[in-house]
Amino acid sequence: PLVLHVLGARPNFVKAAPVVRGLAELGIRQGIIHTGQHYDALMSDVFFADLGLPEPVANLGVGSGTHARQTAALLTGLEDVVLEHRPALVVVYGDVNSTLAAILVCAKLHVPTAHVEAGLRSFDRDMPEEVNRVVTDALSDLLFATSPEALSHLANEGVDPAKVHLVGNPMIDSLFAALPKLDPAPVQERLGIDGRYAVATLHRPANVDDPEAARELVDAVLGVAEQVPVVVPLHPRGRQRLAEAGLVDRPNLKIVDPLGYVDFLSLVRGAALVVTDSGGVQEETTMLGVPCLTVRPNTERPITVTHGTNRLVTPASLPAAASKALGDGAATPSGELPPLWDGAAGPRIARVIEAWLRDDNLSP
């Protein structure tokens, strides 16, 4: 039997690497389909290299577009590829458009699917990711949850608990694997930073697509830059809008290209503070014990607030929250990581998939 992983965007690569490794250790035949949703070298190739992911068996090159256009290209491209390879199981990750498209294609072709990072909910359907999560979980045959609250969200939506497995967080497996390579000094030197600094990453449509929201956010980041130098590895989404809103190099503000995985986490590890609207970065700062201020009205990852260093802020409250976090210093409030965030999620997922393939689920 063949297992295909459908990957498209930066966070997918990080979540898939431990699962691919876990399946390889069990000798299961597998391949990666890269949809091409992210295509710049700094959004894609660098992750394959840093994470040791094998070359994809196909790259669909779908690229960017409106939601409808991008999803349509993903659907037609993935249908061809699934028909060609006839996988026993397709594994999808997270909440991006590539995830949604793969689940829809497989549901219509009656190809079984597994969703890694099932059951996260922001309960905010204005987020494209929330729509993708709800649809993906409704259609998946195997659901792998990263935190306990996901189980109740899925139960509330009528998902059969027998399909759901609490396995821990593969994004944290990747972080564990990278830890020995994380060294802030070289990347700090390359970027010309020394002393205390903050790192900011911003790319949510609600923050960067609308000029008014972008201006408010940039003003807030400038408020942080008055207190501590801020480095912003800038996601391509909204780059121009944020620049128009004033996010440009200044004495205490450094805008750089997106960083590779190891460089980024090295920079975060050495930071006094992280400001973000990313999903994954909320989890990584929790594990690294770096204070994190998330500029969003909600989070699908509340465990990073209850067990980690994460706080939700508005643009208006960001500068004061930064001042407080910088004063407090780094701390993991509960002193412990969320359950099963132990670096072994990939092997757990691989064992469930192995048993599932063996038992009774192979198509005739």
- Footprint on this chain of ligand UD1 (rule: CB under 6 A): 9-11, 37-40, 43, 64, 70, 95-97, 128-129, 203, 235-237
User: 259 is in the binding site of which of ligand UDP, ligand UD1, none (Cβ under 5 to 8 A by kind)?
Assistant: ligand UDP
Select which of 5, 165, 203, 307 is catalytic: 203
Helix (H) or strand (E) holding 230: strand 230-233
Instruction: Provide, rounded to whole angstroms, the least separation between the CB of residue 99 and ligand UDP.
Output: 10
* String of DSSP letters for 34-60: E--SS-SGGGTHHHHHHHTPPPPSEE-
Residues at the contact surface with ligand UDP, assessed by CB under 6 A? 10-11, 14, 201, 233, 235, 258-259, 261, 264-265, 278-281, 284
Query: CA 141 to CA 187: how far, in whole Å?
Result: 42
Contact (CB, 8 A) for 184 and 270: yes
Backbone angles phi, psi at 59, to 5 degrees: -125, 115
Instruction: Provide, rounded to whole angstroms, the least separation between the CB of residue 252 and ligand UD1.
Output: 26
Instruction: Provide, rounded to whole angstroms, the least separation between the CB of residue 326 and ligand UD1.
Output: 26
Instruction: Provide, rounded to whole angstroms, the least separation between the CB of residue 227 and ligand UD1.
Output: 27
User: 281 is in the binding site of which of ligand UDP, ligand UD1, none (Cβ under 5 to 8 A by kind)?
Assistant: ligand UDP
Location of structure tokens 């400001």? 275
Closest to 203 (Cα-Cα) out of 129, 136, 270: 129
Helix (H) or strand (E) holding 93: strand 89-93
User: 236 is in the binding site of which of ligand UD1, ligand UDP, none (Cβ under 5 to 8 A by kind)?
Assistant: ligand UD1
User: 265 is in the binding site of which of ligand UD1, ligand UDP, none (Cβ under 5 to 8 A by kind)?
Assistant: ligand UDP
- Name residue 94's amino acid: G
User: 38 is in the binding site of which of ligand UDP, ligand UD1, none (Cβ under 5 to 8 A by kind)?
Assistant: ligand UD1
Location of structure tokens 């710049």? 40
Token pair listed for 281: 């970065």
Query: CA 303 to CA 67: how far, in whole Å?
Result: 29
Query: CA 24 to CA 264: how far, in whole Å?
Result: 27
Closest to 136 (Cα-Cα) out of 97, 165, 170, 163: 97
Q: Which is nearer to ligand UD1, 28 or 267 (CB)?
A: 267
CB atoms within 10 A of CB 335: 8
Q: Is 203 a catalytic residue?
A: yes
Instruction: Provide, rounded to whole angstroms, the least separation between the CB of residue 43 and ligand UDP.
Output: 8
Query: CA 81 to CA 73: how far, in whole Å?
Result: 12
Strand partners, 292: 274, 310
Instruction: Provide, rounded to whole angstroms, the least separation between the CB of residue 68 and ligand UD1.
Output: 12
User: 22 is in the binding site of which of ligand UD1, ligand UDP, none (Cβ under 5 to 8 A by kind)?
Assistant: none
Sign of CA dihedral 201, 181, 7, 149: negative
Q: Which is nearer to ligand UDP, 89 or 232 (CB)?
A: 232
What secondary structure letter does DSSP report for 250? B
Q: Which is nearer to ligand UD1, 141 or 277 (CB)?
A: 277
Q: Which residues are catalytic?
A: 203
